[in-house]
Amino acid sequence: MGDYKNTIIITGASRGIGKACAEIFAEEGWQVVIGYHKSEVEAKRLEASLLEKGFSVQAIQADVTKQEEVKQMFSKARATFGKVDALVNNAGISQFRLFTDMTEQEWDQMFDIHCKGAFFCTQCALEDMISSKSGSIVNVSSMWGQVGASCEVHYSASKAALIGLTKALAKELGPSNIRVNCIAPGVIETDMMKSVSGEIKQVLCEETPLMRMGSAQEIAKAILFLSSEKASFITGQVLGVNGGFVIG
């Protein structure tokens, strides 16, 4: 057991916040599963880059909205690394849409990826965590899940649901020594922001007390902290990493 390493599964890990998480956890000595759905090229490139540096990583494809694919992802992870010690539910999408123009399919897709995906992945992770009476789960929400965003009602609502899931599950799993926390990022420079105009980005920066957008790496560092023993007495919390955009 002297050479035992913790294993973490990170969904949506091919780009943005998920990629930054995969990199920082690998650098800290974790065995990392790079979960991805459609971005195979990016995921395999990240896997190759980290393997070249001598890190223990594996890219595994799964659609988190499909329970059987999630089960297969966890099965492959266990076959390579053993039991799963931590999970980051990061897979997500965004969409700007007037509420009156929103379709049922768009609404369902947002909740399927953010909420059902977290449901499926967490259930699988708990197979290891409950038996070992240890583990950490971090759900990636958004400050819009706390305060809401115009023209992103379905996104805001699904991210708010993740916050509710976090708080309730933390109470249920606490007696098993499993911690469940939530990150609520602010305006972060990732692919999700590419469709936002420079003018709107400038306004968002001006509304942020620190006067800038955050980086994926800054979010990843917070997730690393919550997943580590440094946060051993922290559970059921929503950590806002938003430059002061939302306070309180």
Is residue 19 situated within a structural domain? yes
pLDDT band with cut points at 50, 70 and 90 for residue 201: confident
Residues recognised as catalytic? 155
Judged against a pLDDT cut of 90, whether residue 58 lies above it is answered with yes
Is residue 248 situated within a structural domain? no
Judged against a pLDDT cut of 90, whether residue 196 lies above it is answered with no
How crowded is the C-beta side of 59, counted as CA atoms within 13 Å? 23
CATH code, domain with 214: 3.40.50.720
pLDDT of residue 187: 94
Domain count, the chain: 1
pLDDT of residue 138: 98
State the average pLDDT over residues 193-213: 87
pLDDT of residue 3: 62
Is residue 54 situated within a structural domain? yes
Window from 30-39, 116-125, 202-211, 234-243 with minimum mean pLDDT:
202-211
How many Cβ atoms are within 10 Å of 40's Cβ, its own excluded?
Answer: 12
The total number of residues shown for the chain amounts to 248
State the average pLDDT over residues 158-179: 98
State the average pLDDT over residues 144-172: 97
State the average pLDDT over residues 84-113: 97
Is residue 28 situated within a structural domain? yes
Is residue 121 situated within a structural domain? yes
Judged against a pLDDT cut of 70, whether residue 1 lies above it is answered with no
State the average pLDDT over residues 172-195: 92
| pTM attached to this predicted model | 0.95
pLDDT band with cut points at 50, 70 and 90 for residue 199: confident
What would the two tokens of residue 16 be?
Answer: 């943005």
What would the two tokens of residue 241 be?
Answer: 């990493």
Is residue 74 situated within a structural domain? yes
How many Cβ atoms are within 10 Å of 179's Cβ, its own excluded?
Answer: 25
Mean pLDDT of the chain: 96
Closest CA to 127 of 201, 77, 189: 77
Percent of the chain past pLDDT 90, that is, above it, reads 92
pLDDT of residue 2: 44
Domain that holds residue 138: 7-240
Is residue 115 situated within a structural domain? yes
Distances (CA, A) of 199 to 3, 53, 226: 51, 39, 34
pLDDT of residue 197: 78
Is residue 247 situated within a structural domain? no
Question: Is-contact 8 33, C-beta < 8 A?
Answer: yes
